[in-house]
Amino acid sequence: MEDGVEKKGKLNFKIVLITLLVLILAGAGAYFGYSKFLKGNDKSPNVAAQNSTSPVQTQQVSNQTGQTAQGGGSSSGYLQQVVSKYTFDLSDFTVNLADEGGKNYLKISVFLGYDDKKLTEELTDKKPMIRDAVIDILRGKKVADIDPKYMDSIKMQIIQKINPMLENGKLNNVYFSDILTQ
């Protein structure tokens, strides 16, 4: 009779051990699947239009060749994959941010990226209008919007606002440097 109890105890232990092993493997698989395929989808390269209160709205944007930026959950983002041949310095911007109290400001250097050299003259001629468009976008932001995870969205807003003004080519990227908020 002791053999039957001992075999039954070993069998129950094996079932519990196998069940725990299956649960651990299922949990590890679920974690891997989430982190690999789902976690990055909110940083989709299909970024863009965000208003001053909602930094998460997205829409598809076409690049210069007419191809639509496809969402793939890539954390690098569409704009980080585009390297422009030429850049145009819009100089520094210092703007008040839209936070309550009006005590916060942003100081930032902005460069426009493009591939068609003939666009340089047009950008020079339209620099005051372009600076005004960039100021309009930046003034609508809050300190919380000036966060690395929202910068591609701000860049896309700038591209979308400036490209309709241009006749000799299109922007394909915006570069920021010297970002300071206070």
CA–CA dist 76, 59 (Å, integer): 17
Of the CA atoms within 13 Å of residue 6, those in its CB half-sphere come to: 3
CA–CA dist 163, 54 (Å, integer): 23
**What does each of the 182 residues of the chain score in pLDDT, given as a tens digit?**
555 656 666 778 888 888 888 888 888 888 777 777 665 544 433 333 333 333 333 333 333 333 333 333 333 466 677 888 999 999 999 999 998 887 899 999 999 999 999 999 999 999 999 999 999 999 999 999 999 989 999 999 999 999 999 999 999 999 999 999 98
In sign, the C-alpha dihedral spanning 139, 141, 175, 166 is negative
The structure's pTM equals 0.58
